[in-house]
Chain A
Amino acid sequence: MSENTTTRRSRTHVSCTVNGDQVDFLADDGTSLLDALRDELDLTGAKEGCGTGDCGACTVLVDGRINCSCLMFAPEAEGCDIVTVEGIAEGDHLHPLQQTFLEGAALQCGVCTPGFLVSAKALLDENPDPTETEIRYALAGNLCRCTGYDKIVRSVQEAAVQLRGAAR
């Protein structure tokens, strides 16, 4: 077997905000944001379900917009504000979506849950009173194979009610 003497490709220094913290890490040019979050920052909440942007398990917020972190190169995150599922609770207080997902049994295996929570948060940040159809289309980029989406949609509806109540 070869000795590990080959020259490493140059790595890019990336500086950005993740869940409110200023972070710095090194990334190969070909490294996805998802792999950087998971492997460099040990934030393994975002998952890789497909690597091609079709399942939404890797969804994170980049400057407030949902993004498949598997489709974004890590160096592109320079200067960005990233929010992952680990960052949507406020301290010990779960985000209302996290609480309604728990109470509404909106997760079974739970592997798609981080992506759904981030996508649903982005929806409710934008549209505090979505219709069922709007919720279904907003979440259509997130695959869940366990629940049939029923309890996910209901939990988002319930969280929207709670958030509107809190905003009043």
Chain B
Amino acid sequence: MTITEDRPAYKWVGTRPIRHDGYDKVVGKARFAADRNFPGQLHGAFLRSPHGHARILAIDTAAAEVMPGVKAVVTGADFPDLPVGNPERDTGINLMARDAALYVGHVVAAVAASTRAEAEAAAAAIEVRYELLPVVLSIDESMADGAPLANPDNRTAFSGSDDPSNLATVTPLERGDVDAAFEAADVVVEREFDTAWVHQGYIEPHACVVDVGPDGRADVWASSQGHFRVRSQTAAVLDWDTARIKVTPAEIGGGFGGKTTIYLEPVAALLSEKSGRPVKIVMTRDEVLRATGPAPASKSRIRIAATNDGELTAIDGWIGYAVGCTNDMAGFVGAMSVASYKFPNLKMEFVGALTNTPRSAAYRAPSAPQAAFAIESVIDEIAQALDMDPIELRLKNAVVEGDLTSMGGPHPRVGFVECLEAIRDSEHYRSSVPEGAARGIGTGFWFNIGEQSSATVNLNEDGTATVITGSPDIGGSRASMALMAAEELGIDVHRITPVVADTESVGFTDVTEGSRATFATGMAVVNACRELVEELKARAATILGVGADAVEWVDGAAVAADKDPLPLAGITAKAKGTGGPLTVTASLNAGGAGPSFAVHCCDVVVDDETGRVEVLRYTTAQDAGTAIHPSYVEGQMQGGTAQGIGWALNEEYVYDDDGTMLNASFLDYRVPVASDLPMIETIIVEVPNPAHPYGVRGVGETGIVPPMATIANAVSRATGVRLSSLPMSPPKVLAALDER
């Protein structure tokens, strides 16, 4: 279902064609990262630290180097030592430990051999002498007085201090007079929350093949959310010129933020350089869980003040993120994510704290889900205390254009109220709650980003077109690019071939992150098409023998008074005689990303005997701005929701006291399967973003923000006990029921 404000009548935008890359993906032809082999390639394998924190005293590779099939061995000594302050220093240290291993699973050496088994056997034969150091595993341990340093390299960002610290960031926000507001409040609710480490859980493990030739140039095949970042990070970590590296994007088997950074390519490059052979490295699932991702665990305290008529007058609180073993912006980004309600008085502090666990990575609306879980839970308790409808309470306080974001600037045109109204008016919310079940409401916000994109549009001789971008397609964006180009050029969407090109075949493009691809790269495609249409009109004027101003572009043809319309194919056929090939490249640094809101509603039942929570029904409304391909907008909403349900109910890293992950498999780290979930009903709300030619906001991330509170609010209403710790797994729910 789609709820749309007035907008122009589009011919292609908003339709649901079969995606161009779909056929290859249903017949098994699409090539993902592990699906390519280079002639003569070797296989790489790692030795990883068994210790949560340890000084590396010595590494002896002699035995490994003479083992069968071994062609090259690398350790931290083979990598350049980037200065503190270099933004990729931590990336390099994370993918190959130098003086110290910072978490269980940290790579300390790598081997390339003829077979994977030989490489693994040789890696296991490398001898490392460690001196064990104290391990810091939680926010509390990290921030305790006199806590040992999780990583002596770390300095608190933006602090101006050069002292080693466990704090990554400290971000205070304040407006109004919070003390006076709490003094005057009719209702105050305060509560503490915690959430576990969770993994992005992409099904495709990280993989790459790298071939460094005798000229020192590296040919890289890898899947990622941004192959230009693979190139720049690889160059930075190795201290190589960027021009030495070509990265060809494989199809990406899921990323969700976790493939916005690199783990393998520089290691494979050095192994290839040493051996003179291409080197393929494919992570196991165990390695993916132990050493990539995850999203930060969190701990928070939130206090909210309200009046009897439901005005939320003040919020104060503290949200801490455990960011893993290197500096990270999770706390700072968290501070940007609290922007849904007017709150005239606000005093919050957001902290990132280092731990001896894997370096955390972005995960879909990074840092927002943890904050929304806490705040949306407290708001639900206020609604209960006031005996007020939870949507009505939120409608009274929801931000509209001009209201302040958490960081201080005004919101542009946003669709939060429209999403709340969409759920309020939905058949689901208006239906009676099933016998024995309870209903929860939660909301989410994500600011979205713009960043740099490039696009080249080539018109072919027969009037077909090729749209070339540098944005890896993580969920249907090629179809979106083709739809916008079809709308602009006036030709059938399947006469357009959308291509994601390598780093040498298209202009620089930032990572597919921040819900930016259809927004920003789409804008580059639109700009290129518009310039092409101007060129087509000029060519048509020449062909038709009329003045340039006399030609209009209507539905894929040049139209001039007293002349037959000249279709695009009639112009491309005469390109040679009218000025040469018809091709335009556009690039931009997109501003004006449109914030996106979502409102979720779910019905749950709680099994009193087992503590299992079953989600009976789930509906999500989200402001897409404009849905270019509605099926894939729905898909983003549904996928984010399902990940959020996993975060809410099942998923967590379980560590022992030394920092060893005890559940590093898909059997024990349990993501939702088909039989865990109901259909996820979607309501696309379209409040166009005025900064995009078609009103796109970007839809990839917001959907994961509301589910944790939505489900917690339903469970709390079902049981009469407020659930404040994620995941709400059966043992925790049973414990809560026992306390009742």
**Does B254 sit within 8 A of A, measured CB to CB?**
yes
**Does B655 sit within 8 A of A, measured CB to CB?**
no
Give every chain B residue within 8 A of A80 (Cβ-Cβ).
none
CB-contact partner of B70 in A2, A108, A112, A132, under 8 A: A2
Give every chain B residue within 8 A of A1 (Cβ-Cβ).
65-66, 70-72, 275
Assess the A86–B27 pair: CB atoms within 8 A. yes
Q: Mark A126-168, 1 if CB is under 8 A from B, else 0.
A: 0000001101110111111111111111100000000000000
How far is it, in angstroms, between the C-alpha of A49 and the C-alpha of B673 when the chains are bound?
A: 15
**Does A107 sit within 8 A of B, measured CB to CB?**
yes
Shortest CB-to-CB span from B274 to chain A, Å, is: 9
Shortest CB-to-CB span from B290 to chain A, Å, is: 13
**Does A66 sit within 8 A of B, measured CB to CB?**
no
Shortest CB-to-CB span from B444 to chain A, Å, is: 16
Residues from 8 to 39 in B contacting A, C-beta threshold 8 Å: 16, 18-19, 21-23, 25-32, 34-35, 37
Known: A47-B34, A50-B665, A147-B639. A109 touches B16 (CB 8 A): no
Known: A2-B69, A55-B666, A105-B19. A145 touches B671 (CB 8 A): yes
Assess the A108–B666 pair: CB atoms within 8 A. no
Assess the B27–A109 pair: CB atoms within 8 A. no
Assess the B631–A151 pair: CB atoms within 8 A. yes
Task: Pick out which of these stretches binds chain A: B200-208, B298-306, B561-569, B716-724.
Answer: B200-208
Shortest CB-to-CB span from A87 to chain B, Å, is: 9
A-B contacts at CB below 8 angstroms, number: 200
Known: A1-B72, A2-B70. A111 touches B635 (CB 8 A): no
Shortest CB-to-CB span from A60 to chain B, Å, is: 11
**Does B702 sit within 8 A of A, measured CB to CB?**
no
Assess the B35–A117 pair: CB atoms within 8 A. no
Task: Pick out which of these stretches binds chain B: A10-18, A71-79, A94-102.
Answer: A94-102
Give every chain B residue within 8 A of A48 (Cβ-Cβ).
34, 205, 282
Give every chain B residue within 8 A of A136 (Cβ-Cβ).
674-675, 677
Known: A2-B66, A111-B253, A145-B202. A46 touches B28 (CB 8 A): yes
**Does B475 sit within 8 A of A, measured CB to CB?**
yes
Assess the A54–B117 pair: CB atoms within 8 A. no
Known: A52-B667, A109-B204, A109-B253. A44 touches B674 (CB 8 A): no
Assess the B635–A108 pair: CB atoms within 8 A. yes
Shortest CB-to-CB span from B701 to chain A, Å, is: 13
How far is it, in angstroms, between the C-alpha of A2 and the C-alpha of B639 when the chains are bound?
A: 48
Shortest CB-to-CB span from B258 to chain A, Å, is: 10
Assess the B27–A44 pair: CB atoms within 8 A. no
How far is it, in angstroms, between the C-alpha of A136 and the C-alpha of B675 when the chains are bound?
A: 5
Q: Mark A59-95, 1 if CB is under 8 A from B, else 0.
A: 0000000000000000000000000111001000010
Residues from 601 to 640 in B contacting A, C-beta threshold 8 Å: 629, 631-632, 634-635, 638-639
Give every chain B residue within 8 A of A111 (Cβ-Cβ).
32, 202-204, 251, 253-254
Known: A110-B251, A117-B26. A149 touches B631 (CB 8 A): no
Assess the B66–A49 pair: CB atoms within 8 A. no
How far is it, in angstroms, between the C-alpha of A44 and the C-alpha of B32 when the chains are bound?
A: 9
Shortest CB-to-CB span from A163 to chain B, Å, is: 16
Closest to B637 in A: A148
Assess the A112–B65 pair: CB atoms within 8 A. no
Shortest CB-to-CB span from B478 to chain A, Å, is: 12
Max chain A Cβ within 10 angstroms of own Cβ: one of B474, B476, B641: B476
**Does B285 sit within 8 A of A, measured CB to CB?**
yes
Q: How many residues of A contact B (CB 8 A)?
A: 61
**Does A26 sit within 8 A of B, measured CB to CB?**
no
How far is it, in angstroms, between the C-alpha of A43 and the C-alpha of B71 when the chains are bound?
A: 28
**Does B400 sit within 8 A of A, measured CB to CB?**
no
Give every chain A residue within 8 A of B673 (Cβ-Cβ).
139-143, 149
How far is it, in angstroms, between the C-alpha of A101 and the C-alpha of B70 when the chains are bound?
A: 44
Closest to A49 in B: B203
Assess the A55–B203 pair: CB atoms within 8 A. yes
Give every chain B residue within 8 A of A33 (Cβ-Cβ).
none
Shortest CB-to-CB span from B660 to chain A, Å, is: 18
Shortest CB-to-CB span from B56 to chain A, Å, is: 23
**Does B458 sit within 8 A of A, measured CB to CB?**
no
How far is it, in angstroms, between the C-alpha of A52 and the C-alpha of B666 when the chains are bound?
A: 8
Assess the A146–B285 pair: CB atoms within 8 A. no
Give every chain B residue within 8 A of A52 (Cβ-Cβ).
285, 665-667
Max chain B Cβ within 10 angstroms of own Cβ: one of A39, A84, A112, A147: A147
Assess the B680–A50 pair: CB atoms within 8 A. no
**Does A22 sit within 8 A of B, measured CB to CB?**
no
Known: A55-B203, A150-B680. A44 touches B28 (CB 8 A): yes
Give every chain B residue within 8 A of A54 (Cβ-Cβ).
285, 665-667
Assess the A139–B204 pair: CB atoms within 8 A. no
How far is it, in angstroms, between the C-alpha of A140 and the C-alpha of B673 when the chains are bound?
A: 5
Assess the B204–A94 pair: CB atoms within 8 A. no
Give every chain A residue within 8 A of B474 (Cβ-Cβ).
108-109
Q: Mark B417-439, 1 if CB is under 8 A from A, else 0.
A: 00000000000000000000000
Residues from 19 to 45 in A contacting B, C-beta threshold 8 Å: 30, 38-39, 43-45
Give every chain B residue within 8 A of A146 (Cβ-Cβ).
254, 475, 635, 639
Give every chain A residue within 8 A of B202 (Cβ-Cβ).
109, 111, 145
Give every chain A residue within 8 A of B571 (Cβ-Cβ).
none
How far is it, in angstroms, between the C-alpha of A112 and the C-alpha of B26 when the chains are bound?
A: 10
Known: A50-B665, A137-B675, A148-B642. A107 touches B26 (CB 8 A): yes
Assess the B666–A143 pair: CB atoms within 8 A. yes
**Does B384 sit within 8 A of A, measured CB to CB?**
no
CB-contact partner of B674 in A30, A117, A142, under 8 A: A142
CB-contact partner of A2 in B68, B282, B631, under 8 A: B68
**Does B497 sit within 8 A of A, measured CB to CB?**
no
Known: A49-B285, A54-B667. A147 touches B635 (CB 8 A): yes
How far is it, in angstroms, between the C-alpha of A135 and the C-alpha of B575 when the chains are bound?
A: 54
**Does A125 sit within 8 A of B, measured CB to CB?**
no
Assess the A103–B18 pair: CB atoms within 8 A. yes
Assess the A105–B30 pair: CB atoms within 8 A. no
Give every chain B residue within 8 A of A147 (Cβ-Cβ).
635, 638-639, 642
Assess the A145–B638 pair: CB atoms within 8 A. no
Shortest CB-to-CB span from A129 to chain B, Å, is: 18
Assess the B251–A109 pair: CB atoms within 8 A. yes
Shortest CB-to-CB span from A69 to chain B, Å, is: 13
Max chain B Cβ within 10 angstroms of own Cβ: one of A30, A48, A146: A146
9 A-B residue pairs with CB within 8 Å: A2-B67, A102-B19, A107-B22, A108-B475, A109-B203, A111-B253, A148-B639, A148-B672, A149-B677
Known: A1-B70, A112-B203. 12 other contacts (CB 8 A): A1-B66, A2-B70, A44-B35, A52-B665, A55-B203, A108-B639, A137-B674, A140-B675, A145-B202, A146-B475, A148-B672, A151-B638
What 4 pairs between A and B have smallest CB-CB spacing? A45-B28, A111-B253, A148-B642, A110-B25
